[in-house]
Amino acid sequence: MSDAAVHRPPPGPGPLRGVGVVLRRELGAFFDGAAAYVYLVGALLLSSSLFMNEFFLTARVDMTPFFEALFPIALFLLPGLSMRLWAEDRRTRTFELWMTLPLAPWQVVAGKYLAALGVWCVYLVGTTPIVVMLAALGAPDLGLVASGYLGALCLGALLLAVGSLASALTSDQIVAFVLAVAVGALLYASGHPRAVAVLDGQVPGLGRLFADHVSALPRYEELVRGLVSLSTLVWFGGTSLVLLGLETALVTRLRQ
């Protein structure tokens, strides 16, 4: 047997298995302490209390108000979830450990991202008692409810991709949080009718350009209203993948 064969490094895990390794590690790290449960319980109490206040005022057997209020809430909830993904590793020098493992950068990026998205899904599942309550009180449009949850999932996927990239840019979690909130606010405000009107007043057509091509708000509102289209899903998925691609390129550069 040749020396090259003797000293050849062991092959790394398969692509999906490697992602799974990172995914399990990140989920375990998140749920090992009390912070995860405090985060989830706090997020559920905040969003549910806002919805119940609206519900008792309007008596609408409809989850649309919940999903309409979710975007502004998610602007702060999701950066709080994603800010530690890379920043903590870079601060504690765990980043170097990740880079010495037989894993491709994209596998680590995907595993961390899917772990954060999994936590967001746990949060969304935690809101389903609202659906049960509405079904007990009346006959909500379950198709509209399902479309709203699809919108919340797409929104979470996008904002977590933003937050994950922001976390990879810095070793300071607070900086990562602020950067992710700023970008998320841009994705929200650039499609708000008032912002569109102001921009159109300054430069005709500029506000509509931002709303049509930059903002996530109009597309999210379409899903909340039950208007599910392939173009909307492709926009959310494609934008998230582009952000994750940029993150992978950044991690690859840091690895070198």
Question: What's the pLDDT tens digit per position in 202-212?
Answer: 888 888 888 88
Q: At what angle do helices 64-82 and 142-168 cross, to 10 degrees?
A: 20
Q: Note down the domain range covering 140.
A: 13-255
Q: What is the pLDDT of residues 153-197, one digit of tens each?
A: 999 999 999 999 999 999 899 999 999 999 999 999 998 889 888
pTM across the whole model: 0.89
4, part of any domain: no
132, part of any domain: yes
8, part of any domain: no
Q: What is the pLDDT of residues 72-108, one digit of tens each?
A: 999 999 999 999 889 888 877 787 787 788 888 899 9
Burial class for 66, CB neighbours closer than 10 Å (0-12, 13-18, 19+): buried
21, part of any domain: yes
Residue 146: pLDDT band (50, 70, 90) is very high
| Domains of the chain: total | 1
What pLDDT does 9 receive? 45
6, part of any domain: no
112, part of any domain: yes
5, part of any domain: no
3, part of any domain: no
* Separation CA 96–CA 91 (nearest Å): 11
55 pLDDT above the threshold of 50 = yes
